[in-house]
Chains A and B, each alone.
Chain A
Amino acid sequence: MTGFFGVTIQGLFGQLLVGLINGSFYAILSLGLAIIFGLLNIINFAHGAQYMLGAFVAWIGMTYLGVDYWWALLLSPLAVGGTGILIERAMLQRLYRLDHLYGLLLTFGLALIIEGLFRYRFGISGESYPVNELLAGGTNLGFMFLPKYRAWVVVASLVVCFATWYVIERTKLGSYLRAGTENPQLLQAFGINVPLMITLTYGYGVALAAFAGVLAAPIFNVNPVMGSNLIIVVFAVVVVGGMGSILGSIVTGIGLGLIEGIVKSGMIANLLGAMFDKVPVLGSLVYPVKLLFSPEASAVTIFVIMAIVLLVRPAGLFGRER
């Protein structure tokens, strides 16, 4: 089989699967950021550290207490979400009347503390977390080999994302949340305990990050810096999608993950090459674009897309202007 533009079918689908998995993580994390920002008006810089914390709690539970994967998937988000509730009650609550940037700076400080402590205790080499027996192995789909665990990660994250979307957009509880985003004072006047709602929302957002961390533990190496590099990409995802829409965050996250995978497969660079390399002047004009979308540059793909979106539609794909 020749495949598409110099990329084998196995290669392309392999990268698409990687993209889909990364996209699932972008989706859960940007969803958590969006929910927290909606109600607290704070960008949670500690989100990456809390994702890492989720993975480490699962690893520690498995190694020292014999807690298996399924329990970790439930207990780790609860534990990390609980620390989030404490952080909100002890610190974030004092910042709501101040400029947004203080929330960013405070959570940045928290991220440094968490990351520093784990680097002190575990170094940066990382620990490996075994795949659960139920999800080990995989199936051959004919055109590619699909590891079971990776399929599970995609399904589990989609289920959690859409459940969150359903609760917020379609239930009574969600209507309180949306009202709190629009006008907290008025909602409080109707007798809803808004401060409690804010605390629980932060806890839930943090728990989502920890859930993503547990899902990621068997795929990536569990290490103290796993969250900090990811969170910057997720910030770019949030800028592209805009934080106004829950569904928008999910779609943007998965979409950008897939695009990143396609770029990594080399298809876009080959396609541009096939179309323009022979054309005299245009060929050299397109060359920088080709370089920008070459597999070597896939680490910056999402940032490049962010820059383009800012030029074309500054409010983000699903955002509202102010």
Chain B
Amino acid sequence: MKTNAAAWALLVAAGMAAPFLVYPVFAMKVLCFALFACAFNLLLGYTGLLSFGHAAFLGSAGYVAGHAVKVLGFAPETGILAGAATAAALGYIFGSLAIRRSGIYFAMITLALAQMIFFVALQMPFTGGEDGMQGVPRGRLLGMIDLREPLSMYYFVFAIFLLGFWVIYRTIHSPFGQVLKAIRENEPRAVSLGYDVDKYKLAAFVLSAALSGLAGATKTLVFQLASLTDVHWHMSGEVVLMTLLGGMGTVFGPVIGAGLVVGLQNYGANMGEWVTVITGGIFVICVLAFRRGIVGEIAALFRK
């Protein structure tokens, strides 16, 4: 518990100082992906379900929030809520279908359903197809704070991240989270103890989808853009990598994983296709030699 409190303090301090140390847009990008990875980790790390379609939630929430703010004139906060709500509803549909199968099939079903969303986003007129939805205004938070100001936007994003992260933290440490872990460790046993496993899985799936949507909607406001990249299966793979690299089933791992992967993409942008190759290479190395991830390995060192 003492290390957890220290980690929280470090996280908040780093978050407060970040815009003065790095480019604020980069810091906001890291925060959005960190929230996305933490939401994904709730499912993979704590429930043992590998979804290969989480880009669908990130991307569709981004489009809905963008449309709500740009065309329907929503305020930024309600636009983001609309995005997250869409992702939750989509998560309910995907979840209800996918939990009918387990293991490897679960991953393939989520991937296929997400690909469907990709095609929908490609063909629907309001998404802008290949060009994406451009020029989404950031607007004024609660009608007062001008979010075009980079620092205001940054602290707004940081507040959303902390809120989402806190929800995940509370979920993991609640009785509900304990049941999720029981399902991950031994599903038949959880069933025999009388838990309605499918309901728990679905609830975790919807929560994870909603928080991924929160991240995606926020990301759209940050970049003022919603694009096909966010619904593509590459994105679903990236969030798996962030979680795996940082340490799945650890509270802070996905944050670190997200920072590293986003950093690689940003600073490796001029390397072109090599970024994909390096990403693949990290996957292979993580699976073969480094399955606990960075935070998991550090925690194992401390335990010795």
Contact = CB atoms under 8 A, between A and B. Distances in A.
Contacts of B280: 108-116
Contacts of B100: 310-311, 314
A203 to B, nearest CB: 19
A314 B101 CA distance: 7
Interface string B88-130: 0000000001001101110111011101100110010000000
Interface of A: 37, 43, 91, 94-95, 98, 100-102, 104-106, 108-117, 119-120, 228, 232-233, 235-236, 238-239, 296-297, 299-300, 302-304, 306-307, 310-311, 314-315
Contact of B104 (A98, A101, A117): A101
Given A37-B104, A109-B281, A300 B119 contact: yes
Nearest to A307: B97
B284 interface: yes
A108 B287 CA distance: 11
A232 B112 CA distance: 6
A310 B273 CA distance: 37
27 contacts: A37-B104, A95-B287, A100-B104, A101-B103, A106-B287, A108-B237, A109-B281, A109-B282, A109-B284, A111-B280, A113-B281, A114-B280, A116-B273, A119-B276, A120-B277, A232-B233, A236-B115, A239-B108, A239-B109, A239-B112, A296-B123, A297-B123, A302-B112, A303-B115, A303-B116, A310-B109, A314-B100
A116 B282 CA distance: 13
Contacts, number: 119
B140 interface: no
B283 interface: yes
Nearest to A94: B288
Interface magnitude class on chain B: 35 or more
Interface in B205-247: 233, 237, 240, 244
Contact of B284 (A110, A238, A299): A110
B112 A235 contact: yes
A237 to B, nearest CB: 9
Interface in B237-291: 237, 240, 244, 272-277, 279-284, 286-288, 291
Given A110-B280, A116-B275, A304-B116, 5 more contacts: A104-B52, A108-B280, A116-B273, A232-B233, A233-B115
Nearest to B233: A232
A155 to B, nearest CB: 29
Interface of B: 50, 52, 97, 100-101, 103-105, 107-109, 111-113, 115-116, 119-120, 123, 233, 237, 240, 244, 272-277, 279-284, 286-288, 291
10 A-B pairs closest in CB distance? A109-B283, A112-B280, A116-B276, A113-B280, A116-B277, A120-B273, A314-B100, A236-B112, A235-B108, A303-B116
Contact of A232 (B105, B115, B120, B283): B115
A110 B277 CA distance: 9
Contact of B119 (A113, A119, A299): A299
Contacts of A297: 123
Contacts of A43: 104, 107-108
A101 B277 CA distance: 21
